[in-house]
Every structure is written in structure tokens, then in C-alpha cells.
């Protein structure tokens, strides 16, 4: 994992398994229910969301550096809650190291893995 000194409003997430931020960003920014909450660029994604429990809201700029994601927050001081939620939204809240083996067993998943390297299942960010 990449280690670096973080400011109070920043966090770092370890990536365990295949992951490419550009694929997650492309998916979220192009998913109609996420319109207005996700904006993608070539190397980052910006997300805005209500923190779990409807306590507050947060904005975060997420970038990838090797096997880590780095988030810079605005509009919240609850870094831990925002970090947990971003990890869940991008499906980084679990170890996906065995995800390539799923594609070996299932030809449909295997084809999708070949077509979109670094892509993985996503947790949908919207709740009711």
C-alpha cells in the first residue's frame, strides 16, 4: 500500500483485487440514477452524497495511485464515515482478490472481465 502523510480531510483506501478507478468512474458517471452525484475525469471521480443515517452530506475527489485510492473531502468533518461509504460505493469494502477466479469458472463474467479490465461489481450508491 502507498503510504503518504494525509491532511485531516483526506483518506486512503487499499485496493485488494482487480480495480481501475476509471472503470468505476465511467460506470457511475454514466448511470442515470447517479446523475448529479458522480462526475468523472480521465484520472479521478468526484462524488457528492448524503452520509449514512442522513446526518450530513459530503463531497469527495477520489484518485488512484497504484494499489491505493486517495480521497479529499469537502463539506464534512466525518472522515471515517465518508471513507467507509466511498469504500462501499466503489466495492472496496471487501477483499476481491479472488474475483479473477470467478471469471475462470463463469464464461459470462470472464468475458466481461476481458472487455473491461479492472472493472468489478459495484454497490449501488442510492438508498431509499
Question: What is the SS3 string spanning the chain?
Answer: CCCCCCCCCEEEEECCCCCCHHHHHHHHHHCHHHCCCEEECCCEEEEEEECHHHCCEEEEEEEEECCEEEEEEECCCCHHHHHHHHHHHCCCCCCCCCHHHHHHHCHHHHHHHHHCCCCCCCCCCCCC
Mean of pLDDT values over 51-60: 86
Sign of CA dihedral 63, 74, 31, 96: positive
Instruction: Summarize pLDDT for 22-54 with one digit per residue, the tens.
Output: 888 877 777 777 667 777 777 888 888 888 888
Name the band, by pLDDT with cuts 50, 70 and 90, for residue 75.
confident
Q: Hey, what domains does the chain have and what are their CATH numbers?
A: 10-115 (3.30.310.20)
Residue 19, pLDDT > 90, answer no
Amino acid at each position: 500500500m502507498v503510504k503518504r502523510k494525509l491532511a485531516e480531510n483526506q483518506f486512503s483506501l487499499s485496493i485488494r483485487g482487480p480495480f481501475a478507478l476509471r472503470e468505476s468512474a465511467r460506470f457511475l458517471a454514466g448511470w442515470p440514477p447517479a446523475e448529479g452525484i458522480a462526475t468523472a475525469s480521465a484520472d479521478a471521480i468526484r462524488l457528492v452524497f448524503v452520509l449514512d443515517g442522513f446526518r450530513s452530506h459530503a463531497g469527495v475527489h477520489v484518485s488512484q495511485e497504484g494499489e491505493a485510492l486517495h480521497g479529499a473531502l469537502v463539506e464534512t468533518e466525518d472522515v471515517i464515515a465518508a471513507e467507509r461509504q466511498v469504500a462501499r460505493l466503489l466495492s472496496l469494502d471487501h477483499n476481491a482478490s479472488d474475483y479473477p477466479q470467478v471469471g475462470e469458472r463463469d464464461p459470462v463474467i470472464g468475458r466481461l472481465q476481458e472487455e473491461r479490465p479492472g472493472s468489478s461489481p459495484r454497490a449501488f450508491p442510492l438508498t431509499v
